[in-house]
Chains A and B, each alone.
Chain A
Amino acid sequence: MATKGERILEVRDLVKHFPLTQGIVMKRQIGAIKAVDGVSFDLDRGETLGIVGESGCGKSTLAKVLMALERPTSGSVMINGKDIAKARGAELKRMRRNIQMVMQDPYTSLNPRMTVGDIIGEPYDIHTEVAPKGDRARKVQELLEVVGLNPDHINRYPHQFSGGQRQRIGIARGLALQPEVIVCDEPVSALDVSIQAQVINLLERLQNEFNLAYIFIAHDLSVVRHISDRVAVMYLGKVVEIGNDVDIYDKPAHPYAQALLSAVPVPDPEGREQRERIILQGDPPSPANPPSGCRFRTRCWKAQEICATEEPLLQIRPGTTHESACHFAETHDVVHVN
C-alpha cells in the first residue's frame, strides 16, 4: 500500500467558465460566469484539505471539475500524475474509480426506488472488475458494517433510514470502489447537530483505516478546522489564502479570511461584548463581472489604488507564514482576543 505523504492530487491553474448566451436560434455568447478562475493546490495521501468560502465562491463547481463531471475551461487535475481533465473513454472510467464523492443532501442524493444494496452496489455495475457478480452482496454488507449500519438492512429503502444513517449510506457508496480521494461536499450541513459529530467521527475513522485523502468542502468553519490538515479560503472563484489549520485560524493574513473568521459565532457567551467583529458590507459581486485587480477590494477596508489595477498573486508575503493573495497581507488573530 502506498505510504502517507505521497502526492496524489495536483491541481494547476484550474479555470471553469460557464458561458452566458443570448438568443434562442442565433445563440451568441455575451459573457461568462467565472465560477472557478485559476485555482491550484496539492493533496497528499491521507491528508484532508478543507475548502471554505461563501455560497457562490465556486466551491461546488471546483468539486465537480475535480470529479470530471464538468470539463474545465483550462488547467489540469492530475491524479497520480495523470490528467483527469484530458482523459477520455476507458481511461477516464478507470481514473474515476479513484476519486469519489459524498454529497450534501442525503435526502435527495439517494434514489428512493432503489434498495440500499442496489445503491451501494451500483458502482460495481459500472466497474465490474472490482467485484464479481456473485460477490457483490457480501461486499455491500461489508461496506454497511464499515460505516456502522446493520448489514441485514441491505434490502431496505432509503426512506426507512434517518438523515444521519442516509449520509452513512452515501459514504458507503463513495467507498465502494476503494478510491484514494473522496470529495465531501458539505457532508454534514443537512444533519442535526447531535448527528453531525457521529458522521465526522466516521469520516475520520475511515480516513485512518483506508489512508484516504479528503477534499472537505463546508461552510461550518469549526468543523473544517477539526477535520482538516490544510485549509483553502476561496472568494469569487479564487483561492485567497491557503495554509495549515493553525496558519489559517490563528494567523489569517488575508482581510477576507479575517472577516470570515470573525463572523463565525463563538459558542461561548463570556466576553461576547468585547469580541472583535469585522462585518462586511453588502454581498459578493457577481462572478460574471468580477472587479478588476483584487476581487475582494470592493468590500475591503484596506483597499488602495494598487488593488484595482494589479491582481495580487497567491504567495508567501513578508511577515506571514503561508500563502495569501493580498498586497497588504498582515497576520492578525481575530479569534483569540485578549
Chain B
Amino acid sequence: MSKTSLDELPAEGGRGNGPLLDVDNLHVEFATRAGVVRAVNGVSYSLNPGETVAVLGESGSGKSVTAQAIMGILDVPPARIPQGEVRFHGTDLLKLSEEARTQVRGQRIAMIFQDALSALNPVFTVGWQISEMFRVHRGMSKRDGMKKAVELMDKVRIPAAKQRVNDYPHQFSGGMRQRIMIAMAIALDPEVLIADEPTTALDVTVQAQIMELLAELQRESNMGMILITHDLGVVADVADKIAVMYAGRIVENASVHDIYKAPAHPYTKGLLESIPRVDLKGHELYAIKGLPPNLLDMPTGCAFHPRCPYRQDDCVTDAPPLYEIGGTRNSACHYWREVLDGDQG
C-alpha cells in the first residue's frame, strides 16, 4: 500500500474542495480480556470551515473514541481501526505515516479535554507548556516562545498574563485552566478544533464564559469545531449540526433546528422529552426506560430496541441503516416517520 504523503494536503490556509474534515464509516474496536469491544461502529460525519458539529451521546456511546481516532491519539493496541477513513482536505489521515500525522496533530487539528487539571503537566509552568507548541512545531527559542505564550494568555483573557505566565497549573482556578488548554490548542491556528466535554467540570457561569470565548475564537479564525458533549442545552446554544450517538453508532444526524423541533429517532426524542420543563412541573418526568447496552453484549438488530417505545418485530432482527430522510437529515430507525409524526408505535 502506498503511503499518502503530507504534500498532498493543501498548504495552511488553502482550502480544497469538499468538506474540511470527513469521517467516513469509521470503526474502532478494543481487544479486552472479555472479548472485542466495538466502541465505534461505522460513524460518519463531516465538518466545514467555521462550522460547529456537536456529537451528542452518553458515556460509552463512542463519542470520545471517535475524536481520539481523528486526533490519532488512540493507544494501538489495544485499540484497532479495522476500517474507515478520516479525510482531512481529502487526504486519509489514517494512512499517513506517524511522522506526517505529528505534523497535522496540534498544528492543523487540535483538541481540548474535559479535565484541564489532569491534562496539564503539574510540574511545568503554564507558560512553558504553551510555548512548547512553538518550540516543538515552529523551532522558536525559549524567549520568543514565552512571548507568544503571554500573547495567547491575553487572547484567552487570562488577567495579568505577564505575571501569571510563570505560575503552575494548580495556581489557577478550573475556568482559568480550561482557558490555558484553549490557548495551547489555538496556539498554531488550527483549522479544526475538537472540544471533548470542554465545560462539563465547570460551573454554569464559567461554562458561559468558556463557550463565549470559543465562539469568538471560532469567528475570528473560521475554524471548524467538533463539540463532544452530553448537554442538550450547550448543543442548542452553539451547534450548527448534531450527530447523536448511541452504542457506537450515529442514530440521528441533522441540523440543530430540525432536531429540537422534531427528532426523528426515538432515542433523541426520549432525551429531549426527559428535560424538565416548566409547564410540566408536578408531573412525572419522561424517562427512557432501561439502561444503555453493554458493548460486549449488544442487543440484536437495533441497539436501542430494548428501550424503545416504537419497537416492532423487525427491530429485534434487522439493524436499521442510516436512512436518508430528506435534505441533509438521517435517522437510524425503521419507523422514523412515526417518530417524526409523534405517533407512539
**Per-residue CB proximity of B207-231 to A under 8 Å, as 1/0?**
1110110000000000000000011
- B273-290: which have CB < 8 Å to A? 274-276, 278, 281, 284-289
B206 touches A283 (CB 8 A): yes
B205 touches A197 (CB 8 A): no
The residues of B that contact A133 with a CB separation of less than 8 Å are none
A226 touches B208 (CB 8 A): no
Indicate whether B233 reaches chain A with its CB closer than 8 angstroms. yes
Complex partner residue of B233 from A54, A267, A270, CB under 8 angstroms: A267
**Per-residue CB proximity of A255-296 to B under 8 Å, as 1/0?**
000011011111111101000010111110000000000000
Chain-B contact segment, one of A73-81, A95-103, A187-195, A320-328: A187-195
Add 7 more A-B contacts to A197-B286, A266-B236 (CB < 8 A). A54-B204, A165-B291, A194-B288, A269-B237, A269-B256, A269-B260, A279-B209
The residues of A that contact B204 with a CB separation of less than 8 Å are 54, 219, 221, 260, 263-265
Shortest B259–chain A CB gap in Å is 8
Q: Which of B58, B206, B257 has the most CB of A within 10 A?
A: B206
Residue on B nearest A57 in the bound complex, by CB: B203
Cα A245 to Cα B230 with chains together (Å): 26
The residues of B that contact A281 with a CB separation of less than 8 Å are 209
Cα A308 to Cα B92 with chains together (Å): 60
The residues of A that contact B271 with a CB separation of less than 8 Å are 193-194
Known contacts A263-B207, A277-B208; decide if A245 and B281 are in contact (CB<8 Å): yes
What 7 pairs between A and B have smallest CB-CB spacing? A265-B233, A226-B276, A197-B287, A197-B274, A263-B208, A197-B285, A54-B203
Cα A279 to Cα B210 with chains together (Å): 10
**Per-residue CB proximity of A155-169 to B under 8 Å, as 1/0?**
000000010110000
- A47-79: which have CB < 8 Å to B? 54-55
Cα A262 to Cα B212 with chains together (Å): 13
Known contacts A219-B203, A260-B205, A282-B159; decide if A267 and B272 are in contact (CB<8 Å): yes
B276 touches A193 (CB 8 A): no
A267 touches B278 (CB 8 A): no
The residues of B that contact A54 with a CB separation of less than 8 Å are 203-206
Cα A260 to Cα B206 with chains together (Å): 10
The residues of B that contact A105 with a CB separation of less than 8 Å are none
Complex partner residue of B287 from A201, A245, A269, CB under 8 angstroms: A201
Provide 15 A-B residue pairs closer than 8 Å at the C-beta atoms, listed in order of the A residue.
A55-B203, A192-B292, A194-B270, A200-B285, A205-B284, A245-B281, A263-B204, A265-B204, A266-B236, A267-B232, A267-B272, A269-B237, A270-B257, A272-B237, A279-B212
Known contacts A192-B58, A263-B205, A265-B236; decide if A283 and B275 are in contact (CB<8 Å): no
Residue on A nearest B239 in the bound complex, by CB: A269
Indicate whether B198 reaches chain A with its CB closer than 8 angstroms. no
Interface of B is mostly: helix
Size bracket, chain A contacts: 35 or more
B281 touches A225 (CB 8 A): yes
A225 touches B274 (CB 8 A): no
Complex partner residue of A194 from B175, B237, B287, CB under 8 angstroms: B287
The residues of A that contact B176 with a CB separation of less than 8 Å are 283
B175 touches A283 (CB 8 A): yes
The residues of B that contact A269 with a CB separation of less than 8 Å are 236-237, 239, 256-257, 260
**Per-residue CB proximity of B233-258 to A under 8 Å, as 1/0?**
11111010000000000000000110
Indicate whether B173 reaches chain A with its CB closer than 8 angstroms. yes
Cα A223 to Cα B275 with chains together (Å): 8
Shortest A152–chain B CB gap in Å is 18
Cα A274 to Cα B58 with chains together (Å): 30
Residue on A nearest B291 in the bound complex, by CB: A162
Indicate whether A222 reaches chain B with its CB closer than 8 angstroms. yes
